[in-house]
Amino acid sequence: MASSSHFTPDTSSSRSCKYDIFLSFRGEDTRKTFVDHLYSSLKQHLIEVYKDDEALPRGDSIDQSLFEAIEDSQMAVVIFSKNYADSSWCLDELSHIMRCKEERGLIVLPIFFDVEPSDVRNQKRKFGEAFAKQMAANVTKAEIWRKALFNVGNIAGWESKNIADGG
């Protein structure tokens, strides 16, 4: 992990983590394109990355394994795409990421892949349509998810439209 010390604010005061980066993304939108390229590039730079299809132990409870991996990471990179909010798994993952940000200082870096930060923050346009479906199906979690989306939408991140060849 020494090679990635530039990702951690102060490694002397932070606890040792198994992963440098936890990747949160909607598989059907970005797994075989952006996420696979990002993952490969990070691994080439000897950065320890948690990506569910590479690191999730077979036979484990998915939610518990994901939450433990988030807790055992220095940073979470959340790749928001148009259908990210169409997954209750992604929304639960995001809520846990934001809880870890507040409770233990997890660094959160959002990437807005073909969506605007304001779409995430305010659940608008295609992103909002996807969120509305989950909100209707999971009324008890809706407010927790909405707060997490609002808070992460206020974090400075990368927007694909501002990156060369990003759309």
Q: What domains appear along the chain, each with residue ranges and CATH number?
A: 16-158 (3.40.50.10140)
Instruction: Name residues whose C-beta falls within 8 Å of residue 27's C-beta, 6 or more positions apart in sequence.
Output: 35, 52, 53
Q: Is 88 exposed, middle or buried (0-12, 13-18, 19+ CB in 10 A)?
A: middle
Which residues are known catalytic residues? Answer: 93
Rounded to two decimals, what is the model's pTM? Answer: 0.84
Measured CA to CA in angstroms, residue 42 lies from 36, 38, 49, 163 at distances of: 10, 6, 7, 18
Mean pLDDT computed over 26-51: 92
Q: How far apart are CA 126 and CA 124, in angstroms?
A: 7
- DSSP letter (8 states) at residue 60: S
Which amino acid is residue 9, in one-letter code?
A: P
The token pair that represents 61 in the structure block: 């409870």
Q: How far apart are CA 155 and CA 19, in angstroms?
A: 22
Is residue 55 very low, low, confident or very high in pLDDT (cuts 50, 70, 90)?
Answer: low
Q: How far apart are CA 145 and CA 159, in angstroms?
A: 21
> pLDDT tens, 127-153?
999 999 999 999 999 999 999 999 999
* 3-state secondary structure (DSSP) of residue 101: helix
